[in-house]
Amino acid sequence: GWSGETMGNLIAKARTPRMDALMSAWPHTTLQAAGEAVGLPRGAVGNSEAGHLHIGAGRRIYSDRVKIDRSITDGSFFRNEVFLQTIRSARDSGRALHLLGIVSFFSSHGSIRHLFALMELARREGVRNLYIHAMLGRRGETPESGAHYIGSIEKKTAEIGMGKVVSVIGRYWSMDREENWDRIEKTYRMLVYGEGTPCRERPDP
């Protein structure tokens, strides 16, 4: 990135004759590389994926998270046919509806707001049994944040009068992408067979 600060700025402290020559000979400018400028949520730190995508595309490409956020705001989220078919199928057959996904306010992969929107949609459609499987953790968040997120979900279930958190697991196990199948197996066995350590109440943060 570009900064006028010199403290900790290796480029500012280095000799850069080629860069200096280019900048003195040709027009140049700086680009925003974080947040809404590169299709990420407001205030989100940029990353290499967003940078490479926008250099290649030459235009703003909204992330899936931002697209979902916008659909919740404009109401189209609640008219999504796949969501409605799935929820109504569970309701009409008398089966429970299970929701699982990452629970965070800050992850680029998802938001607790998306879970809340699905919970609200299930309530509107008359679902009776709603079970929530929370996948916690985002790089950079403190271990104590998990208890806060579960507390937020429990507050939402009380607000809408339905829903229950039935499993909790960290992203280290549930969202591994390095082919550590032993981690994924723990997640699978928890979700399919109910294997795990029982916890009767949410720990204090």
Please give the C-alpha separations between residue 93 and each of 78, 85, 129, in angstroms, as whole numbers: 21, 12, 11
Closest CA to 146 of 123, 173, 122, 128: 173
Q: Residues with catalytic annotation?
A: 48
pLDDT value at residue 19 = 92
Residue 143 belongs to a domain: yes
Are 69 and 124 in a shared domain? Answer: yes
- Give the dihedral sign, CA 103/106/109/115: positive
124 and 29 part of one domain: no
- Pick the last residue of a domain from 6, 37, 57: 57
Same domain assignment for residues 46 and 76:
no
Q: What is the pLDDT along the chain (205 residues), one digit of tens a residue?
A: 678 888 889 888 899 999 999 999 999 998 888 999 999 988 888 888 899 999 999 999 999 989 999 999 999 999 999 999 999 999 999 999 999 988 887 666 678 999 999 999 999 999 999 999 999 866 656 767 888 889 999 999 999 999 999 999 988 888 888 888 999 999 999 999 999 988 877 666 5
Task: Look at residue 87 and give its three-state secondary structure.
Answer: helix
Give the pLDDT of residue 204.
62
pTM recorded for the entire structure: 0.80
Range of the domain at 173: 64-193
